[in-house]
Amino acid sequence: MKNSALLALAAASFALALPASAQFAKPEDAVKYRQSAMFIQSQHFGRVAAMATGRVPYDAAAATANAELVAMISKLPWAGFGPGTEGGKAKPDIWKEQAKFKELNERLMAETEKLAAATKAGNLDAVKAAVSSVGETCKTCHDTFRSR
């Protein structure tokens, strides 16, 4: 039941995110949207990472719930990077290097799916490896496309 509810929420969120770029009244709304999505994603990822690094006790159910949310949320920010939405901490290179940016956002979505799968399997070593991969993907994108 819980999984089907999460899947329904993920599908609805993804469907709503696709046309979101056309719904932003102002460019700053797109900036707020993408920053909010990434903030929420980082909060849930941080919970799994804290378990993977031993800062908090490992709770398989909590790890899975948070990882599933990370995978779902990883699909959301990209609608906020449409044409004319420059600003925030995003470097102008995003709009100049669209292919590279798209490759990195697709990589993030794939790595977060692997993280969710690792938590469901319950193998802590696999979770640690997946957390590392997601973190490296985030770092690569931020180093390339985010101003400090």
Give pLDDT tens digits for 21-62. Answer: 458 999 999 999 999 999 999 999 999 999 999 999 999 999
Report the predicted TM-score, pTM, of the whole model to 2 decimal places: 0.83
Between the two ends of the chain, the Cα-to-Cα distance in Å is 42
**pLDDT for residue 91 is more than 90:** yes
**Nearest alpha carbon to residue 39 among 83, 86, 89:** 89
Say how far apart CA 12 and CA 76 lie, in whole Å. Answer: 11
pLDDT band at 63 (very low <50, low <70, confident <90, very high): very high
Query: What are the helix and strand counts (H, E) for the chain?
Result: 7, 0
3-state secondary structure of 90: strand
Please provide the average confidence, as pLDDT, over all residues in the chain.
Answer: 90
State mean pLDDT over 75-89.
94
